[in-house]
Amino acid sequence: MTETPLLSIPSSNQSENQSNSTHCPDLNDWWDIVFYIVPKYLNAVCVIGMLGNVFVLLIYSLHKGPLKTAEIYLMNLAIADLIFLACLPFWAVNTSKGFNWPFGIFLCRSVSTSIVLNMYTSIYLLVAVSVDRYLTFVHTLNHREVWSKTMTKGICLLIWFFCILLSVPNFMYRTVKEFSSWNISACYLEYPNSSWITAERLVFNVVGFLLPSTAIIFLNFSTIRSLKKTARERRALRAKGCMGQKGMRATRLITTVVLTFLFCWTPYHFFVFLDLLYNTEVIKGCFWGELINFGQQFSYILATTNSCINPVIYVFVGKYFRQKALEVFSQFFPCGFPSRWVSFKEMSSNFSMSTVKNDST
């Protein structure tokens, strides 16, 4: 089941590799576990992630104040996650039926392309957020004075356009194909030749992960280094105040963002790379074939978790967003908040990981 970047049936190359092996073990019992666990997990991620991202969009939409630069990126990230999460139930049904696609060619192309689009859009929006944080903390010039909201929205449109272009081949070559050996009709990515398959995996690994993740790591850890340098200088001067504390909180938040993203996505791209090696016959045999098969299944569901927890790690831990949420909710409580809500607002000031006043995360 090594076709990428979606869960799928075994590719023809893999089947041939396995058939040329001596005796491949019967792993039907293990696949029964996959068919049982994966759909339930995808549905759970869908429900939790939809609630979280819808809540994010409602808060940003209903709040009366203007959106800040980072909030525009985060809104687009929430939209991308919602598109992705809305497609998961289709793939959960597909997996529960042993990869037998029951929804027709149009939904096969639309659902799979939407999932691929999210993979690209999310990571490049994260690059944009990282650039915004880098400019905020590393450069003394307040870039927001020259970085207009119109320019930010234009960048978002360029990201969407670029990622749509990267997703076009998936839409063109997705089809519902019958596989008599498995007695199923699968939503299958059938490229004209093996060169297309190799190119697709390279683009997915390099353009979809290696380059943007390198940028994310560089930008975020440059920000962390700058914050730590500032903190050391303040300690040397024995300076006191809230800015040092906010800087350290920003350091913890940025570290959490980077580590969580890498934790969710690195395993899946690792197995995509192994799949590239397998289909070019750099590695062969039943062991590698089955390792890639199962590895992609479970690393994929780990990757989907990133869309589920994005509202938590990018928004909900932020003091500014919590204050916005309280202001939105206050519109529906004319008599004011219950005392426990006021206490929560006070607690948010003490336990916030927010960065500076202008930082929206």
Tell me, yes or no, whether 6 lies in a domain.
no
Tell me, yes or no, whether 358 lies in a domain.
no
- At residue 140, the pLDDT reads 56
Mean pLDDT calculated for residue range 17-38: 70
Tell me, yes or no, whether 359 lies in a domain.
no
Tokens of 60: 């940003």
- Do 328 and 63 meet the contact criterion of CB atoms below 8 Å apart? yes
Tell me, yes or no, whether 319 lies in a domain.
yes
pLDDT digits (tens, 9 = 90+) for 231-272: 777 777 765 555 555 555 655 666 677 788 889 989 999 999
Phi, psi of 34 (to 5 degrees): -60, -45
pLDDT digits (tens, 9 = 90+) for 85-125: 999 999 999 999 989 999 999 999 999 999 899 889 999 99
Of 72-81, 160-169, 246-255, which range is least confident?
246-255
What is the separation of C-alpha 182 from the centre of its chain, rounded to a whole number of angstroms? 32
Mean pLDDT calculated for residue range 53-62: 90
Query: Which residues form the domain of 106?
Result: 12-329+337-351
- At residue 360, the pLDDT reads 42
- At residue 20, the pLDDT reads 43
Type of residue found at 349: S
- At residue 206, the pLDDT reads 95
The residue among 246, 241, 303, 294 whose CA lies nearest residue 269 is 303
The position carrying tokens 């019992």 is 29
Tell me, yes or no, whether 4 lies in a domain.
no
Q: Which residues have C-beta within 8 Å of that of residue 137, sequence separation ≥ 6?
A: 223, 226, 227, 247, 250, 355, 356
What are the distances in angstroms from CA 131 to CA 18, 138, 264? 46, 10, 21
Write down the H helix ranges in 174-285. Answer: 194-205, 211-236, 242-279
Axis crossing angle, helix 319-330 with helix 339-351, rounded to the nearest 10: 160
- Do 57 and 75 meet the contact criterion of CB atoms below 8 Å apart? yes
Burial 93-116 (b: 16+ CB within 10 A, else e): bbbbeebbbeeeeeebbbbbbbbb
Q: What is the CATH number of the domain that holds 147?
A: 1.20.1070.10
> Average per-residue pLDDT in the chain?
79
- At residue 281, the pLDDT reads 84
The structure's pTM equals 0.81
> For residues 344 and 253, what is the distance between their CA atoms, to the nearest angstrom?
20
Tell me, yes or no, whether 2 lies in a domain.
no
Number of domains within the chain: 1
Tell me, yes or no, whether 310 lies in a domain.
yes
Of 38-47, 166-175, 185-194, 249-258, which range is least confident?
249-258
- Do 116 and 84 meet the contact criterion of CB atoms below 8 Å apart? no
pLDDT digits (tens, 9 = 90+) for 203-221: 999 999 999 999 998 988 8
Tell me, yes or no, whether 360 lies in a domain.
no
Split at pLDDT 50, 70, 90, the class of 341 is: very low
- At residue 109, the pLDDT reads 94
Tokens of 241: 């105040």
Split at pLDDT 50, 70, 90, the class of 314 is: low
More confident call, 16 vs 305: 305
